[in-house]
Amino acid sequence: MANDNTNLHSAKGVKDDEFYTTFETIVEELRHYTKHFKGKTILCNCDDPIESNFCKYFLLNFKRLKLRRLICTSYKDSKVAKISFNLFTQGRIENLGYVLDVTGDDTELIDSFQNHGVLIDGAVKALCGDGDFRSEECVKYLEQADIIVTNPPFSLFKELVALLMKYEKKFLLIGNQNALTYKEIFPLIQKNLAWTGYRFGDMKFRVPADSEPRATRFWIDSEGQKWRSLGNAMWLTNLDIDRRHQILKLTKRYSPEEYPRYDDYDAINVTRVDSIPIDYPGIMGVPITIINKYNSDQFELIGEANHGSDNEFDLFKPTLNGKQLFKRILIRHKQPMTQINKKFKILDLFCGAGGFSYGIEKNPHFSTVIALDNDPNVRDTFRNNMPNCNVVIGDITSSVVKSDIIENSIGLGVNMIIGGPPCQGYSNKGKKLGLADPRNFLFREYLSLVKAIQPEVFIIENVKTILSASNGWFKDEIVNAIESLGYKVEYGVLNAM
pLDDT at 114 over 50: yes
Supply the pLDDT for residue 94.
66
SS3 52: coil
Q: Residue range 135-144: average pLDDT? A: 96
- Give CA–CA dist 96/77, Å, rounded: 9
Amino acid at 426: Y
**How many residues appear in the chain?**
497
Supply the pLDDT for residue 320.
95
CA distances from 206 to 147, 211, 223 (A): 24, 10, 12
Residue 256 CB burial class (10 angstroms; 0-12, 13-18, ≥19): exposed
Report whether 368 contacts 389 (CB < 8 A): yes
What are the pLDDT digits (tens) for 202-254? 999 988 888 889 999 999 999 999 999 999 999 999 999 988 998 898 989 99
Rg of the chain, C-alpha, whole Å: 28
Supply the pLDDT for residue 78.
54
SS3 34: helix
Give strand pairing partners of 268: 261, 284
Residue 265: what are its φ and ψ, rounded to 5°? -155, 145
pLDDT at 1 over 50: no
List own/partner pairs for 185-193 with CB under 8 A and 24 or more apart: 185/158, 185/161, 185/236, 186/304, 186/311, 186/313, 187/313, 188/161, 188/238, 189/291, 189/294, 189/301, 190/301, 190/313, 192/296, 193/165, 193/238
Residue 154 pLDDT level (bands cut at 50, 70, 90): confident
Mean pLDDT lowest among 20-34, 53-67, 248-262, 465-479: 465-479
Report pTM.
Answer: 0.66
Q: Residue range 77-97: average pLDDT? A: 51
Q: At 60, which helix (H) or strand (E)?
A: helix 53-60
Give strand pairing partners of 320: 323
Supply the pLDDT for residue 7.
41
Report whether 308 contacts 316 (CB < 8 A): yes
CA distances from 111 to 38, 383, 484 (A): 19, 64, 39
Supply the pLDDT for residue 488.
84
Supply the pLDDT for residue 489.
86
> Strand order in 284-286's β-sheet?
268-269, 284-286, 328-333, 299-305, 314-316
Task: Count Cβ atoms below 10 Å from residue 194 Cβ, excluding itself.
Answer: 22
Mean pLDDT lowest among 31-45, 263-277, 483-497: 483-497
Q: Residue range 184-212: average pLDDT? A: 92
Supply the pLDDT for residue 496.
65
Residues noted as catalytic? 423
Output the average pLDDT for the chain. Answer: 86
Report whether 172 contacts 41 (CB < 8 A): no
pLDDT at 425 over 70: no
**C-alpha torsion sign, points 81, 85, 86, 92:** positive
- The percent of residues in the chain predicted with pLDDT above 70, rounded, is 87
- Give CA–CA dist 389/367, Å, rounded: 9
- Give CA–CA dist 124/120, Å, rounded: 9
- Give CA–CA dist 227/229, Å, rounded: 7
What are the pLDDT digits (tens) for 276-301? 999 999 999 999 999 999 999 999 99
- The percent of residues in the chain predicted with pLDDT above 90, rounded, is 58
Task: Count Cβ atoms below 10 Å from residue 355 Cβ, excluding itself.
Answer: 15
